[in-house]
Amino acid sequence: MRLANKHLIITGAARGIGFAIASKCVREGATVGICDLSPEAVDRACAQLEAAGGRAIPLPADVTDDVAVRQMVHVAHERFGRIDGLVNNAGITKDAQLRNMSDEQWRQVIDVNLTGVFQCTRAVADMLCAQGSGAIVSISSVVGLYGNFGQTNYAAAKAGVIGMTMTWAKELGRKNVRANAVCPGFINTSILGTIPEQVLARLRAMVPMNRLGEPEEVANAVAFLLSDEASFINGVALEVSGGIAI
């Protein structure tokens, strides 16, 4: 099992891609802290993982609240004794074309998708550096690489995640703490629920494989980057998109 004895925090892990990442990580031997907004959803996710034979602890927190984030990391450290990795997965969309985008839509997406990633990573960085090992994987998006119609806020945040990742790869790499990003294409989760079917059909047609991705396909890449098999991979933005941009 490639993540045996690893203790991980995964944000936005109560459902969607985050839950798929948590499921994959426990199957690979990790203990996972499930961070998400709703305490009930967090408890349900932990119960599901435990029922499948995994080890999971609830860490309900809003990643935009720095006090809550620090407390969440403190609880994880108390319960686990150490933290080996962080997956910054929590994310939202509030789409509108540039000319119609409100300050509120801009701010909400930047707060969760950019500031949340910054705050969670800052909260674990000292611990990881002090122990001289660790892996941070942040979920960006192909939208952070290529932009997307109606997603000025989301593209800015996801491009920012790639910039932060490369910066952390340089700053923390000296302490044997690796930072990488994963850039999913369009993945079959409820975040796509607001996209009309004809637009989804166009998105599928852009992919050489002519389909959306599945959360488990993103989870496989994340688990690899968290593992010691990726011990010399630092500062990459790995596309998991079926080749959407080629």
| Residues with a known catalytic role | 154
In the complex, least distance from residue 112 CB atom to ligand NAP, rounded to whole angstroms: 5
Burial of residue 70 (CB within 10 Å: 0-12, 13-18, 19+) is: middle
CB atoms within 10 A of CB 139: 28
> Would you say 95 or 166 has its CB closer to ligand NAP?
95
Nearer to ligand NAP, 116 or 173 (CB): 116
- Which is closer to ligand NAP, CB of 14 or CB of 225? 14
List of residues contacting ligand NAP (CB under 6 A): 11-12, 14-18, 36-38, 62-64, 89-92, 112, 116, 139, 141, 184, 186-187, 189-192
Name the residue among 65, 75, 89, 64 with its Cα closest to residue 14: 89
| C-alpha–C-alpha distance, residues 173 and 166, integer Å | 10
Shortest spacing between CB 174 and ligand NAP, in angstroms: 28
- Shortest separation between residue 146's beta carbon and ligand NAP, angstroms: 12
Q: What CA–CA distance (Å, rounded) separates 141 from 139?
A: 7
CB of 91 to ligand NAP, least distance (A): 2
Q: What DSSP string describes 174-201?
A: TTTEEEEEEEE-SBSSGGGGGS-HHHHH
Closest C-alpha to 69, from 109, 16, 122: 122
Q: How far is the CB of 25 from ligand NAP (least distance, A)?
A: 15
Nearest-angstrom CA–CA distance, 28 and 111 = 32
Please name the amino acid found at residue 168. Answer: W
Could you give the CA distance from residue 136 to residue 88 in angstroms, rounded to a whole number?
Answer: 8
d(CA 102, CA 112): 16
